[in-house]
């Protein structure tokens, strides 16, 4: 199976993709998925991620069928 990926707002613009899929492989983490999907070795500072709608750390292990979302830093007032 595969993992679904979604990127939001200016983060999607910077990467040039809003969504996609990656084939799951054993030992995959949020950061390794990011590297494979974007071709970039690090997740930018402040970027949040969610695994199956729950916020997650970048070193979290992934499972087949997960959905991962990346959000840019948000400010407001």
CB-based contact 36:22 (threshold 8 Å): yes
pLDDT of residue 74: 76
CA dihedral 15, 10, 25, 35 (to 10 degrees): 50
Bridge partner list, 56: 49
What residue ranges of the chain have pLDDT lower than 50?
A: none
CA dihedral 21, 23, 25, 68 (to 10 degrees): 10
pLDDT of residue 1: 86
pLDDT of residue 52: 98
pLDDT of residue 75: 64
Distance CA 66, CA 24 (A): 9
Are β-strands 19-23 and 54-56 bridged in parallel, bridged antiparallel, or unpaired? unpaired
Confidence (pTM): 0.90
């Amino acid at each position: 199976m595969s993992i679904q990926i979604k990127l939001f707002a200016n983060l999607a613009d910077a990467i040039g993709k809003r969504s996609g899929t990656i084939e799951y492989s054993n030992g995959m983490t949020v950061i390794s998925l990011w590297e494979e999907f974007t071709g970039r070795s690090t997740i930018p500072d402040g970027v949040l991620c969610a695994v199956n709608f729950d916020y997650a750390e970048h070193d979290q292990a992934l499972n087949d069928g997960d959905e991962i979302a990346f959000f840019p830093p948000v400010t407001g007032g």
